[in-house]
Amino acid sequence: MNTQKPKVEFVLIGICTCKRPKMLAMSLESLSNLNLPENLKVEILIVDNDSESTARETVEEFSKKSKLKINYVVEQERGISNARNKLLNEAINLGATHVAMMDDDEIVDKEWLQKHIELYNDSDAYIISGPTYNKFLKNYPKYVTNNKVFKSSTCKKTGEERKICAGGNVFFALTIVKDNNLYFNTFYKFMGGEDGEFFSKASKLGYKIVWNNEAVNYELVGDSRANLKWVLNRCFYNGYSGTALKFKNNKNKIIKIAYMINKIFVVLLDLFLLVPSIIFGLTVFFNVLGMIIKNIGKIRGIFSLEQVNYYENICGE
């Protein structure tokens, strides 16, 4: 690990996108309102993970009115890992010192970038991670919006050290890539979890990750997600993928069986509570049902060797 922490000189705001031009347009619009630090080079990079270049028109329209230079490239091979690796390589080619990464279904607070940079400069961390809250695009039933899959509350404090973080709201020095040839694992290209593994590896290499409650962005939630089918599918995926990743390299069958027995017990207990939970309303009922489905997903994921293709189908517009 290089002990000389890089100075923030050129920040590239990177967004990977695939067939969601309407959401991307909202993401870009939020970037137009950013408060930018003085004497700092800031540009935007859009990596379009669609061979038909669906995002090109959106990017061109935004570039006509943007105060920030916007770069646009296409990654032909589908998969979030491939798109994010393209982003890293393009950032290096453009000469960026740092990357601020967000998703194409997110909008940022106007102080988002400044808050990331301030904490980076005031700490010994190479990676700054922030919270992502849900922003519903219209009114939906409370038993959907109050479901646990949409809860974003956190007890983490600004400056708290982390060993892992997500890729939807993160600021980091590109030296962690250049000095270690560190990239996103393509095994997870449709499964998700590639960001957690990437930043976990960076942490193990000695690059400190800290949390920043002040660097906020928001995930846009529309009709495609604010419904029970998506919510319950997400519950299963969260359980399945988390357990599959947890036991991916663990060959100890005794530990796996003990974990499975524990989850079976939890499912049976929750099934017992499911019917009476309706007394407390649909929100409680569907949260209990979601927990049951999530734990069934965990049981399914214990012995799985399959790659999950959860993100192969596009969700959103």
pLDDT at residue number 218 = 95
User: Residue with structure tokens 């995930």?
Assistant: 219
Cα-Cα-Cα-Cα dihedral of 254, 256, 262, 263, to 10°?
-160
Give yes or no: residues 157 and 242 share one domain.
no
Give yes or no: residues 103 and 14 share one domain.
yes
* Domain finish residue from 221, 251, 271: 221
Is there a domain that residue 261 lies in? yes
pLDDT at residue number 3 = 67
Give yes or no: residues 177 and 233 share one domain.
no
User: For 288-304, what is each residue's pLDDT tens digit?
Assistant: 999 999 999 999 888 77
Buried b (16+ CB within 10 A) or exposed e, 304-316: eeeebebbeeeeb
Is there a domain that residue 312 lies in? no
Reference 314, options 49, 45, 25, 27; nearest CA is: 49
pLDDT at residue number 153 = 62
Give yes or no: residues 241 and 274 share one domain.
yes
Is there a domain that residue 317 lies in? no
Give yes or no: residues 268 and 144 share one domain.
no
**How do beta strands 10-17 and 127-129 pair?**
unpaired
Is there a domain that residue 1 lies in? no
Over the chain (317 residues), what is each successive 10-residue block's mean pLDDT? 85 96 95 90 97 95 93 95 97 98 96 97 97 94 93 81 94 97 91 90 96 95 94 91 80 88 95 94 95 94 74 76
pLDDT at residue number 10 = 97
User: For 78-128, what is each residue's pLDDT tens digit?
Assistant: 999 999 999 999 999 999 999 999 999 999 999 999 999 999 999 999 999
**Per the structure, how many domains does the chain have?**
2
Give CB contacts under 8 A, 24+ apart, made by 243-248.
243/297, 243/298, 243/299, 243/300, 243/301, 243/302, 243/304, 244/191, 244/301, 244/302, 244/304, 244/306, 244/308, 245/193, 245/196, 245/197, 246/301, 247/301, 247/302, 247/303
Give yes or no: residues 146 and 20 share one domain.
yes
Is there a domain that residue 2 lies in? no
Amino acid in the structure at residue 189: K
**How do beta strands 132-136 and 217-221 pair?**
parallel
- Domain range for 236 is 228-302
Give yes or no: residues 44 and 176 share one domain.
yes
Give yes or no: residues 160 and 281 share one domain.
no
* Domain finish residue from 221, 252, 277: 221
pLDDT at residue number 247 = 80
Give yes or no: residues 127 and 246 share one domain.
no
pLDDT at residue number 2 = 62
pLDDT at residue number 30 = 95
Is there a domain that residue 311 lies in? no
* Domain finish residue from 204, 221, 238: 221
Is there a domain that residue 315 lies in? no
